Amino acid sequence: MTIALGVRESRPLIALAAPIAGIQLAQVALTTTDLAMMGLLGVQAIAAGGLALTLYNQIRTMCVGVVTAVGNLVAAAVGRSEARAGADHLDQRAHTEIRQIVRAAFLVATVVGLLAGGVLTALSYTLEWFGQDQVILELARPMMIALAFGLVPMLWLNVLRQFAVGMRRPGSLLWVTIASIGINAALNGAFIYGWLGLPVLGLTGIGAATSFVNLLTFGAFFLIVRRDQHLAPLLSIQAWRADMGTVREILRLGIPISLTYGSEAGIFSVAVLIMGSFGPAALAAHNVVIQLTYIVFQVTIGLSHGSSILVSRVVSKGDLDEAKRISRTALTLGGIVMGVVGAVYLVAPELVLRPFLDSNEAAEVMPLARVLLLVAVVQQFMDCAQNIGVGLLRGLGNTKSGFRITLIGYWAVGLPVLIVFAYGFGLRGPGVWLGLCAGLAVTAVLLLRRFDHDLRALRPEPERRGTVTAQPGSP
């Protein structure tokens, strides 16, 4: 009976989280393909390309954070409509509200994407201030500039994605993203080696291919949404007609999310810079292991986004007990997945590392990569819990606490521990990863405690005190 109940409780979350995780994994397959093709160009290309992708991912992640709350706003509008109508369909008020949300989101995405492209380009000229090898800089800079051109269509795609997730219809994007993997691989080869008469761009070609794939993926998913009978009536891309009040609401929720994502991405970017100071082999080992954990992290993102959307929906209907059950289910499922993956890392480390390393350089990079992979077993549990905690708080409409907590966990705890272990204790690369573990662990505990506190605060006063008066005739 208990097992059956657990399956029944987890089914709505799995139904929503699995397609999101699939989309995330397919997107990561793009960068994994990129990293594998960098390996064909040598250790310096892995180091430079990994550095460029890490910094691009930080900018990209912060941009995505600005529009992430769109899914929660749409889900809350759906929940309020269901509460008003007493049925699983949208009333006219919800139709108008959701169209306003989508229009405003496209305006925010366009402006933010243009600004972010300028920031990424400017950042490519400041890396020499951080003690990076000159050869690495000369390889990384043009790749970062090429990646900057894809930020606007990437954000448009994420607006459509959040819209579909908020409506609990994310699956249609999965097949588009899977198809983009093959297109990306072909374009990588074409731009790197100059196939079909294209210029030989080398490592820069990987950035150009990524930007082009972002544009193609957005176009394909837009056509799919336009043909979806449930989504099409609610879709409006007329950003010039955006309601400024809705724009401000997206920014009010989205800016703290962006800063939260940036805080996490920032500590990992600092880790990359510190690893780079230990030499190309250390940076290459770090880039390979971080890519492996990044792959698994996409399952966590699915659970985080899925639980966040479900919490927004049920809280808007007043079902706080269901919100608590969703949080427990998400953490349990995340723990199971991290445990299985960790076991694979422990049993067969070379099996998962070798596809990312050229055979001529594996002997130099593999020993350190194996040590980092052992630390990654623990790191993934911490990262999973903190990411789910951020999503749960977002489901309650609290995006500011997540940012404040990450400042404490990542920067007040994680960074000092990282520096002490890497330099003070002389652990170098493994010390960097132990510092990351410490920061993620503290962040996870604080986030989950805050979620419980905020959820209790939503309950009526007598219920919070445990003094609810029994109704006549009740046992």
pLDDT in tens, 88-143: 677 788 888 899 999 999 999 999 999 999 999 888 787 777 666 677 777 788 88
Is 472's pLDDT higher than 50?
Answer: no
Looking at the domain assignment, is residue 468 inside a domain?
A: no
Looking at the domain assignment, is residue 144 inside a domain?
A: yes
Identify the pLDDT of residue 471. 37
Looking at the domain assignment, is residue 161 inside a domain?
A: yes
Share above pLDDT 90 across residues of the chain, in percent, rounded to a whole number: 29
Distance from C-alpha of 386 to C-alpha of 392, rounded to nearest angstrom: 10
Two tokens at 182?
């093959």
pLDDT winner (highest mean) among 25-34, 273-282, 310-319, 325-334: 325-334
87 three-class SS: coil
How many Cβ atoms sit within 10 Å of the Cβ of residue 4? Answer: 8
Identify the pLDDT of residue 421. 94
Looking at the domain assignment, is residue 475 inside a domain?
A: no
Half-sphere exposure of 12 (CA within 13 A, CB side): 16
Looking at the domain assignment, is residue 460 inside a domain?
A: no
Identify the pLDDT of residue 133. 66
Identify the pLDDT of residue 265. 75
Looking at the domain assignment, is residue 465 inside a domain?
A: no
Looking at the domain assignment, is residue 473 inside a domain?
A: no
Q: Is the dihedral of CA 281, 283, 287, 293 positive or negative?
A: positive
Whether 90 contacts 285, CB under 8 Å: no
Q: Is the dihedral of CA 73, 253, 314, 473 positive or negative?
A: negative
Residue 474 identity (one-letter amino acid) = S
Distance from C-alpha of 306 to C-alpha of 20, rounded to nearest angstrom: 8
Find the mean pLDDT for residues 269-295: 83
Closest CA to 417 of 398, 429, 402, 433: 433
pLDDT in tens, 233-258: 888 888 888 889 999 999 999 999 88
Domain assignment of residue 392, given as a range: 2-455
Q: Name the DSSP letter for residue 150.
A: T
Looking at the domain assignment, is residue 176 inside a domain?
A: yes
Q: pLDDT class for 473, splitting at 50, 70, 90?
A: very low
pLDDT in tens, 144-203: 898 999 899 999 998 998 898 888 887 667 778 778 888 888 888 888 887 877 777 888
pLDDT in tens, 385-417: 999 999 999 999 888 888 899 899 999 999 999
Q: Name the DSSP letter for residue 412.
A: I
Tokens 């992640």 belong to which residue? 61
Distance from C-alpha of 32 to C-alpha of 402, rounded to nearest angstrom: 29
**What pTM was estimated for this model as a whole?**
0.78
What total of structural domains would you count in the chain? 1
Distance from C-alpha of 125 to C-alpha of 105, rounded to nearest angstrom: 31
